[in-house]
Amino acid sequence: MKIAITCHYARLPEDHPVWRRAVSLADVVLSKKVNLTSDELIDFIQGADALITGTDWMREDVIKQVPDCLKVISRPAVGYDRVDIRAARKRGIDVCNAPGTNTDAVADLTMGLILNCARRIPDYIEGTRALEWKLEGKQMNLSGKTLGILGLGSIGKAVAVRAKAFGMKLLADDPIWDEDFCGQYGIEKTDMETLLGASDVVSLHLPLMEHTHHIINEENIGKMKDGAILINAARGGLVDHEALCRALEDQKILAYGADVMEEEPPGDHPLFHLKNAYITPHIGANTLEASQNMMQTALTNALDILEGKECKNIVNRFEDS
Ligand SMILES: NC(=O)c1ccc[n+]([C@@H]2O[C@H](COP(=O)([O-])OP(=O)(O)OC[C@H]3O[C@@H](n4cnc5c(N)ncnc54)[C@H](O)[C@@H]3O)[C@@H](O)[C@H]2O)c1
């Protein structure tokens, strides 16, 4: 049996019980590089029964070419928007994700992005590194401000817990509503339009899907409070970047804090030339703890499927398939 791994950002130590389970069942092979081309990927996974995939795009044309022996594509991540899960189902391949494995890491980073936008910390650090001691510019307290959370799932909730401790008022929009949790943290249920109009900080924590693609577009930016902060530690495709750049240039949006871009790696993008855009290179889950959790779950998913056991993280069990 062979397990092919193209994910380099999530790792387990060799003495970890799940890693030991994997190597006792199969040849576990790590790709030499990340971001394989489609041809390199197809070549690398020949003979593989399972693929632990990193940032590779697995669109329909790639899925059509994977070897017949491939039974599972397991993502060491929450998002699986780079895998065509319907095409995989047509070939009888289970696709799995690793929900909840990086929640704290991404929520911590989200708070960092909010603080960077509100206090412009990177700008001041840049100044002191240039041996300048400049205090210019007033910033913004978080306490008493309203945070609007779009997508109150695992990470959205963890952000709410943190923001509550900062004294922020909380609004959220999510089709699934956890009454107990929201009652405990005083989170008010709103629709997206109300949330955009009432929030000093809007933070996105929803998945990238057809209906959420460019959900923050020119029209919805227009509904935001003047001078609000926008945070995106979810997926770049949630935001129309052209409309965003215009809104940042004319200060309709005070600052944008993000961990994700629509294309990754993005190359030279206009956002990187704006002083009020603070962007990190998709490091949300990049803590030691999260990286181990993610690989542990991804490998366990794959091993359970290969051994014919129940796996609760399969995302492409469709009623119509
Ligand atoms: N930056 C990173 O490194 C990183 C790491 C992990 C996850 N993420 C991203 O963060 C996002 C959230 O992850 P999570 O673990 O909280 O997922 P989750 O599935 O627990 O939560 C997502 C929530 O969004 C809600 N939702 C779906 N469509 C919506 C809509 N139109 N309006 C409002 N809410 C909607 C869902 O009901 C769900 O509660 C995902 O996009 C994921 O890809 C990013």
For the segment 149-194, what is each residue's pLDDT rounded down to a tens digit?
Answer: 999 999 999 999 999 999 999 999 999 999 999 999 999 999 999 9
Residue 189 in any domain: the answer is yes
Same domain, 246 and 297: no
Tell me the sheet residues that pair with 173.
150
CA of 150 to the centre of ligand 1 (A): 9
CB atoms within 10 A of CB 261: 21
204 ligand 1 Cβ < 6 A: no
Confidence of residue 320 (pLDDT cuts 50, 70, 90): low
Same domain, 129 and 83: no
Q: Is 235 noted as a catalytic residue in this protein?
A: yes
Mutation test residue for ligand 1: of 7, 75, 78, 315, the one with most atoms within 8 Å of CB: 78
154 ligand 1 Cβ < 6 A: yes
Residue 66 has what DSSP assignment? Answer: S
Mutation test residue for ligand 1: of 82, 161, 174, the one with most atoms within 8 Å of CB: 174
pLDDT for the residue 318:
84
Q: Name 1's Cβ contacts closer than 8 Å, sequence gap at least 6.
A: 25, 26, 27, 49, 306
Q: Name 17's Cβ contacts closer than 8 Å, sequence gap at least 6.
A: none
176 ligand 1 Cβ < 6 A: yes
Same domain, 63 and 178: no
Mutation test residue for ligand 1: of 55, 97, 106, the one with most atoms within 8 Å of CB: 106
Q: What is the CATH number of the domain that holds 76?
A: 3.40.50.720
Same domain, 88 and 164: no
Same domain, 151 and 251: yes
Same domain, 188 and 63: no
For the stretch 259-290, pLDDT in tens is: 999 999 999 999 999 999 999 999 999 999 99
Domain count, the chain: 2
Q: Residue 167 is part of which domain span? A: 103-279
User: What's the whole-model pTM score?
Assistant: 0.95
Residue 211 in any domain: the answer is yes
Same domain, 34 and 53: yes
d(CA 151, CA 145): 19
CA of 235 to the centre of ligand 1 (A): 9
Same domain, 157 and 191: yes
d(CA 170, CA 271): 28
Residue 116 in any domain: the answer is yes
Same domain, 36 and 107: no
Residue 319 in any domain: the answer is no
104 ligand 1 Cβ < 6 A: no
Same domain, 118 and 246: yes
Residue 313 in any domain: the answer is no
Residue 171 in any domain: the answer is yes
pLDDT for the residue 229:
98
244 ligand 1 Cβ < 6 A: no
Residue 312 in any domain: the answer is no
For 87-131, give the DSSP string. HHHHTT-EEE--TTSSHHHHHHHHHHHHHHHHH-HHHHHHHHHTT
Residue 151 in any domain: the answer is yes
302 ligand 1 Cβ < 6 A: no
